[in-house]
Amino acid sequence: MDNLKEKVTTVAELLNNSIYPVVLTGAGVSTESGVPDFRSPESGFWAVVNPELFTIDGFKANPGAFYEAGLPLFRLIEQAQPNSAHKALAWLEEQGLVKALITQNVDGLHQAAGSKQVLEIHGTLKSAGCHYCGQSSPATEVLADIEEGLIPPLCLECGEPLKPDVVLFGEPLAPAYHQALREAEKADLILVIGSSMQVSPANKLPAFCENLVIINRTPTFYDSQARVVINEGIGITMEMFLEELK
């Protein structure tokens, strides 16, 4: 614990001395809210669901199977609440200590916690849209249709299947990724929190910055380049971080 305190103190000093700090978050930030990550061998989403269903070709071929497989995750995200890490990051932004928050997550919990400058580079599960006529619907309405047995949920305008506003495998990147690139290029400090950095092209973003902090339970590709690496629980680490700054 003493070693963790020393590292947290160092990170606080780095943040206070930075001009343009940026945060990059992954699924590990939301696991304490009950949202599973995707790649853990036993508990990850891909351990129980066929990833082929979550390609754009898989969705187009069988949107019903996509929704049936994804329903447990959609329910979890709809019920999830921000945890201490989400709230800590919102506070840091409010204090001007975070200029932009780039996230790989699709659960909307950063916004629910109060963060404003959020770049969702993999899109969001909080809404769904029709690729044919452009109609958009909030996730609450889509989930209600699914719970009533309408699988897949259909566009009220044209009757075509609605697709969640997430980036599926095989789709172009979300427009937010290009803005995230610009933020990473401006950053003089990047805090990577809760991401294993295995997914491309998100894992290229830290390469734009010489000053890195990694807060993740498991090792990442960037650990050897980071100024500080913390492999502890994200919630308790962020709580200690706030105590240090306050």
Hey, which residues are catalytic here? 122
In the three-class reduction of DSSP (H, G, I as helix; E, B as strand; rest coil), residue 209 is classed as coil
Q: How many residues does the chain have?
A: 246
In contact, 97 and 187? CB cutoff 8 Å: no
Give first-to-last CA distance, the chain, whole Å: 19
Helix axes of 234-245 and 2-16: crossing angle, nearest 10 degrees: 60
Residue 245 half-sphere exposure, CB side, CA atoms within 13 Å? 23
- Tell me if 101 sits within 8 A of 119, measured CB to CB: yes
Q: How far apart (Å, rounded) are the C-alpha atoms in residues 157 and 160?
A: 8
Q: Any idea what the Cα angle at residue 5 is, between residues 89 and 187, rounded to 5°?
A: 40
